Chains A and B, each alone.
Chain A
Amino acid sequence: MFLVIGSNMTEAHPVAATFVKNAVLNGARLVVVDPRRHRLVDFADMHLPLKVGSDIALLNAIMHVLIEENLYDKAFVAEHTTGFDQLKETVQACPPEKAAPVCGIDATTIRKVARLLASVKPVMVCYTLGITEHTCGKNNVMSVANLQMLLGNMGVEMGGVNPLRGQNNVQGACDMGALPNVYPGYQPVTDAKACEKFETAWQTTGMSQEVGLMIPQMMDGLVDGKVRGFYIFGENLANTEPDIHKVEHELASAEFLVVQDIFLNETTRFADVVLPAAAWSENDGTFTNSERRVSRVRTASPAPGVAMPNWWIFREIARRFGHAWPSNSGREIWDNEISMLAPSLGGIKYHRIEGDGLQWPCPTVEHPGTAYLHRGGQFTCGLGRFTPAEWTPPAEVPDENYPLVLSTGRRLYHYHTRTQTGRCEGLNDLLGEETADISFVDADRLGIENGERIRVKSRRGEVAVRANVTPEVPQGMVWMAFHFREGNANWLTNAAFDPFTLTAEYKACAVRIEKM
Chain B
Amino acid sequence: MAQGSISINGNRFPFEPEQTILQIAENNQIRIPTLCYLKGASPTGACRICVVEVEGARSLLAACSTPAVDGMVVHTESPRVVASRRETLELLLASGNHNCAIGSTREKDWTAFQMQAAASDNGEDLCPAWGDCRLQDLAYHYQVEGGKYPRTTPPYPMETVNPLIVRDFSRCILCGRCVQACNEIQVNRAIDFGYRGVAAKVVAGTDVPLKDSQCVFCGECIQACPTGALVEKKARFVWRPWKNRKIRTTCPYCGVGCQQWLHVQDDRIVKVTGVEDGAPNQGRLCVKGRFGYDFIYSDERLKTPLIREGDDFREASWDEALDLVADRFKAIIKESGSDALAGVSCARSINEDSYQMQKLFRGVFKTNNIDHCART
- A interface residues (Cβ-Cβ under 8 A, vs B): 10, 12-16, 18, 21-22, 25, 43, 129, 132-133, 137, 164-181, 183-184, 189, 198-199, 202, 204, 206-208, 210-215, 218, 221, 226-235, 237, 240, 255-256, 258, 261-264, 271-277, 279-283, 285-291, 293-302, 304-311, 313-318, 320-321, 323, 325, 330, 333-334, 337-338, 355-357, 412-413, 415, 419-427, 429-430, 501-504, 506
Contact = CB atoms under 8 A, between A and B. Distances in A.
Interface in B267-300: 267-269, 278-281, 284-289, 291-296, 298, 300
Contacts of B115: none
Given A314-B357, A317-B322, A423-B300, 8 more contacts: A22-B184, A170-B347, A208-B362, A212-B368, A233-B357, A338-B351, A412-B216, A415-B253
Interface stretch (B118-126, B201-209, B221-229, B326-334): B326-334
Nearest to A414: B288
B353 A285 contact: yes
B290 to A, nearest CB: 10
A169 B349 contact: yes
In order of increasing CB-CB distance, the 6 nearest A-B pairs are A305-B303, A289-B257, A165-B255, A234-B346, A285-B350, A212-B368
Nearest to A236: B373
B376 A129 contact: yes
A281 B301 contact: no
A293 B267 contact: no
Given A166-B254, A177-B358, A320 B374 contact: no
Given A263-B301, A291-B280, A306-B304, A425 B294 contact: yes
Contact of B356 (A133, A306, A308, A311): A311
B376 A273 contact: no
B371 A180 contact: yes
Q: Give the one of B255, B268, B269, B281 with max A CB within 10 A.
A: B255
Contacts of B329: 229, 256, 317
Contact of B346 (A173, A206, A315): A173
A280 B354 CA distance: 14
Contacts of A178: 345, 347, 354, 357-358, 370-372
A21 B342 contact: no
Interface majority SS (helix, strand, loop, mixed), chain B: mixed
Contacts of A356: 259, 278-279
B375 A501 contact: yes
11 contacts: A137-B375, A166-B376, A179-B372, A202-B359, A208-B338, A215-B373, A229-B329, A291-B257, A300-B269, A423-B300, A430-B217
B186 interface: yes
Contact of A293 (B257, B287, B354, B363): B257
Contacts, number: 454
A475 to B, nearest CB: 25
Contacts of B324: 273
A502 B374 CA distance: 10
Interface in B179-224: 184-187, 211, 216-218
B256 A184 contact: no
Contacts of A295: 250, 257, 259
B356 A212 contact: no
B308 interface: yes
Nearest to A211: B368
A318 B360 contact: yes
A131 B269 CA distance: 37
Contacts of B184: 22, 25
Interface in B122-167: 162-164
A168 B305 contact: no
A229 B347 contact: no
Contact of B287 (A183, A280, A427): A427
B264 interface: yes
B298 A338 contact: no
Nearest to B282: A19
B257 A233 contact: no
Given A15-B258, A167-B347, A338 B352 contact: yes
B348 A168 contact: yes
Contacts of B370: 177-180, 212
Interface in B302-325: 302-308, 313, 318, 321-325
A310 B356 contact: yes
Given A212-B370, A426-B163, A286 B342 contact: no
A413 B345 contact: no
Q: Give the one of B291, B338, B364 with max A CB within 10 A.
A: B364
B252 interface: yes
A274 B306 contact: yes
B307 A273 contact: yes
Given A333-B355, A420-B292, A18 B368 contact: no
A428 B224 CA distance: 25
Given A180-B368, A215-B371, A277-B302, A133 B376 contact: yes
B316 to A, nearest CB: 8
Given A171-B255, A262-B301, A235 B375 contact: no
Nearest to B234: A425
B31 interface: no
B367 interface: yes
Contact of B216 (A14, A129, A315, A429): A14
A207 B361 CA distance: 9
Contacts of B326: 317, 320-321
A129 B373 CA distance: 12
Given A14-B287, A424-B295, A176 B351 contact: yes
Contact of A304 (B281, B303, B325, B344): B303
Contact of B364 (A170, A204, A287): A204
B362 A198 contact: yes
A477 to B, nearest CB: 20
A305 B164 CA distance: 29
Contacts of B28: none
B351 A288 contact: yes
A421 B295 contact: yes
B325 A273 contact: yes
B5 interface: no
A294 B278 contact: no
Contacts of B255: 13, 164-171, 289-290
Given A262-B301, A311-B353, A227 B287 contact: no
A300 B353 contact: no
Given A18-B186, A273-B325, A294 B351 contact: yes
Contact of B350 (A202, A204, A283, A313): A283
A426 B315 CA distance: 32
Nearest to B294: A424
A501 B307 CA distance: 35
B81 interface: no
Contacts of B347: 167-170, 172-173, 178, 235
Given A13-B254, A231-B342, A424-B294, A330 B313 contact: no
A306 B310 CA distance: 24
A387 B353 CA distance: 35
B162 to A, nearest CB: 8
A229 B254 contact: no
Contacts of B284: 15, 18
B373 A240 contact: yes
B178 to A, nearest CB: 15
B356 A263 contact: no
B300 A169 contact: no
B39 interface: no
A181 B250 contact: no
A256 B324 CA distance: 11
A118 to B, nearest CB: 27
Contacts of B332: 228-229, 255-256
B107 interface: no
Contacts of A290: 255-257
B293 A281 contact: yes
A501 B305 CA distance: 35
B267 A287 contact: no
B216 A301 contact: no
